[in-house]
Amino acid sequence: MIEQRLGCSIREFFEREGESRFRDIEASVIDELTQGPASIVSTGGGSVLRPENRERLHQRGRVFYLKSTPEEVYRRLRYDRNRPLLQVEDPLQRVRDLFEVRDPLYRETAHFIIETGRPSVATLVNMIVMQLEVGGDVPPTPPPPLSRP
């Protein structure tokens, strides 16, 4: 959504306009998307840096913090050249530094925290649905019908 609004990649925009201007646009998109209709919004890692984003996300929806260790995040992203903040000499240390700053902000924003590790997408989705069911946000999934011979 943000790249659509920018008309270019996030990396290009970062290089041309800088992080602060990017965060302005990110905040605007988060504000729009969280006003409804209900939807799933996957934010970028830095979206929690601004207090207004944390407040809007927390107040207007159910926020899941899919928590991974810095080492796991690095493993997933080490070949991704489209992440402007990781284009440094020591990207693993950068991920660790970002985690130290952002983890408390994610915790403040989240209604649910899920330790991700390396589950399949289906397992992760089931974990999220279970949390929503337990929290009363969605009706429980009915069990499958019993088979009769």
Q: Which residue has the tokens 């988060």?
A: 30
Q: Which residue has the tokens 């729009």?
A: 32
Is position 62 annotated in a ligand binding site?
A: no
Sign of the Cα torsion 126, 128, 131, 136 reads negative
Of the candidates 26, 38, 31, 21, which has an alpha carbon nearest to the alpha carbon of residue 1? 26
Q: What are the pLDDT tens digits along the chain (149 aa)?
A: 999 999 999 989 988 999 999 999 999 999 999 998 888 899 988 999 999 999 999 999 999 999 999 999 999 888 888 787 788 889 899 999 999 999 999 999 999 999 887 778 888 888 888 888 887 777 777 766 776 66
Specify the pairing of strand 112-115 against strand 64-67: parallel
Q: 0.85 cut: is pTM over it?
A: no
Report pLDDT for 149.
60
CATH of domain 2-134: 3.40.50.300
Report pLDDT for 84.
77
Is position 81 annotated in a ligand binding site?
A: no
Is position 45 annotated in a ligand binding site?
A: yes
Q: Write down the H helix ranges in the chain.
A: 2-6, 10-17, 19-33, 51-60, 70-77, 91-109, 121-134
Compute the distance between CA of residue 29 and CA of residue 149 in angstroms, rounded to an integer: 54
Q: Which amino acid is at 27?
A: A
Report pLDDT for 23.
95
Is position 36 annotated in a ligand binding site?
A: no
Q: Which residue has the tokens 């969280």?
A: 34
